[in-house]
């Protein structure tokens, strides 16, 4: 893993967290505990690991810190506990990106899966009609973009190998939870069926809606390549990621966006 992902950050299981390599900076992890995320789960009373995931926001190579600041970008890394949340696989609670002060708009996020398997679930709106809902099934090396304003959560889809992913977002990130919690979560819940396969259950607090299940795609229009480490792409050409902190510069690409 170290060789491929272009930056030396090693996920640890006990305690859940990270070891940073030489010349790599990163903070103490923050934890999301089961108690913090219950309101967005299918069964808010479910049993599961006490600490569900560990997050380090603002990691990178020391040499790149100034560029990250200048471009108003931030890499975060997240690693998940094993286990399950009642019938659901281990997953994040889900959020919408709050408005950034710099662009006065919500911002996108780019995910790169490192270990395990992920489903990146996303829906256009958190209203009675959530509009389009997608579940993108991603494996190590896959890159997935979540557009500005969409609500999303990330599922650890392989019960045998917990998920770790890198994400690129705006530096002044903020998360909105209240609307999601008022609906008891997002419009679809993943549940683990026989053979640990994921099935999708509608959240009936939303009106009639569909789910599109898909694989990751190429993002040629953003000049982002699949199968080239995200961090390496940033090192080579940080300019291509300016749309993350300034999504309005590619406004036309967000219309009818398919992840
Ligand atoms: O707000 P939640 O759903 O607990 O998840 C927080 C994590 O989600 C991510 O934004 C990925 O969506 C991480 O970068 C972040 O730390």
Using one digit for the tens of pLDDT, what is the confidence trace for 209-223?
A: 899 999 999 999 999
**Mean residue pLDDT across the chain:** 96
ipTM of this complex prediction, to 2 decimal places: 0.95
**Residue 97 Cβ contacting ligand 1 at under 6 Å:** no
pLDDT single digits (tens) 36-70? 999 999 999 999 999 999 999 999 999 999 999 99
Contacts of 164 (CB under 8 A, 6+ apart): 11, 77, 78, 79, 80, 113, 114, 115, 116
Asked if 9 contacts 59 with a C-beta cutoff of 8 angstroms, the reply is yes
Ligand 1 centroid, distance to 155 Cα (angstroms) = 11
Residue 166 forms part of a structural domain:
yes
**Residue 93 Cβ contacting ligand 1 at under 6 Å:** yes
CA distance 171 to 53: 21
pTM for this one?
0.97
Question: For residue 7, what pLDDT is reported?
Answer: 96
Q: Is the pLDDT of residue 188 over 80?
A: yes
Provide the CATH number for the domain around residue 45.
Answer: 2.60.120.10
Mapped onto helix, strand or coil, the DSSP state of residue 178 is helix
Residue 259 forms part of a structural domain:
no
Two structure tokens written together for 214: 């898909």
Q: How many domains does the chain have?
A: 1
Q: Is the pLDDT of residue 90 over 80?
A: yes
Residue 80 forms part of a structural domain:
yes
Ligand 1 centroid, distance to 39 Cα (angstroms) = 16
Residue 64 forms part of a structural domain:
yes
DSSP 3-state helix, strand, coil percentages of the chain (rounded to 5)?
20, 35, 40
Residue 25 forms part of a structural domain:
yes
Locus of tokens 């603002």: 58
Ligand 1 centroid, distance to 98 Cα (angstroms) = 12
Q: Is the pLDDT of residue 185 over 80?
A: yes
Residue ranges making up the domain that contains 195? 2-254
Question: For residue 209, what pLDDT is reported?
Answer: 86
Question: For residue 4, what pLDDT is reported?
Answer: 64
**Residue 94 Cβ contacting ligand 1 at under 6 Å:** yes
**Residue 107 Cβ contacting ligand 1 at under 6 Å:** no
**Residue 95 Cβ contacting ligand 1 at under 6 Å:** yes
Two structure tokens written together for 93: 């609670």
**Residue 4 Cβ contacting ligand 1 at under 6 Å:** no
Question: For residue 195, what pLDDT is reported?
Answer: 87
Asked if 98 contacts 175 with a C-beta cutoff of 8 angstroms, the reply is yes
Question: For residue 3, what pLDDT is reported?
Answer: 53
Asked if 166 contacts 97 with a C-beta cutoff of 8 angstroms, the reply is no
Residue 168 forms part of a structural domain:
yes
To test the ligand 1 pocket, which listed residue (33, 38, 78) has its Cβ within 8 A of the most ligand atoms? 78
């Amino acid at each position: 893993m170290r060789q491929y992902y272009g930056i030396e950050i090693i996920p640890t299981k006990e305690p859940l967290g990270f070891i940073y390599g030489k010349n790599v900076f990163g903070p103490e992890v923050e934890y999301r505990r089961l108690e913090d995320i219950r309101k967005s789960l299918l069964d808010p009373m479910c049993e599961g690991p006490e600490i569900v995931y560990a997050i380090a926001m603002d990691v990178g190579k020391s040499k790149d810190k100034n560029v990250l600041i200048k471009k108003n970008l931030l890499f975060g890394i997240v690693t998940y506990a094993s286990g399950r949340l009642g019938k659901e696989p281990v997953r994040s609670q889900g959020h919408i990106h709050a408005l950034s002060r710099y662009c006065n708009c919500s911002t996108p996020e780019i995910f790169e899966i490192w270990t395990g398997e992920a489903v990146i679930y996303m829906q256009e709106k958190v209203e009675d009609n959530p509009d389009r809902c997608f579940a993108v099934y991603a494996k190590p090396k896959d890159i997935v973009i979540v557009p500005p304003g969409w609500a999303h959560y990330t599922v650890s889809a392989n019960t045998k190998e917990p998920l770790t992913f890198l994400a690129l977002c705006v530096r002044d990130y903020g998360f909105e939870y209240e609307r999601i919690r008022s609906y008891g979560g997002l419009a679809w819940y993943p549940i683990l069926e026989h053979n640990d396969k994921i099935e999708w259950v509608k959240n009936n607090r939303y009106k009639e809606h569909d789910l599109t299940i898909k694989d990751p795609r190429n993002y040629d229009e953003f000049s982002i390549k699949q199968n080239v480490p995200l961090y390496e792409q940033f090192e080579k050409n940080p300019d291509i990621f300016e749309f993350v902190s300034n999504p309005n510069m590619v406004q036309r690409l967000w219309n009818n966006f398919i992840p």
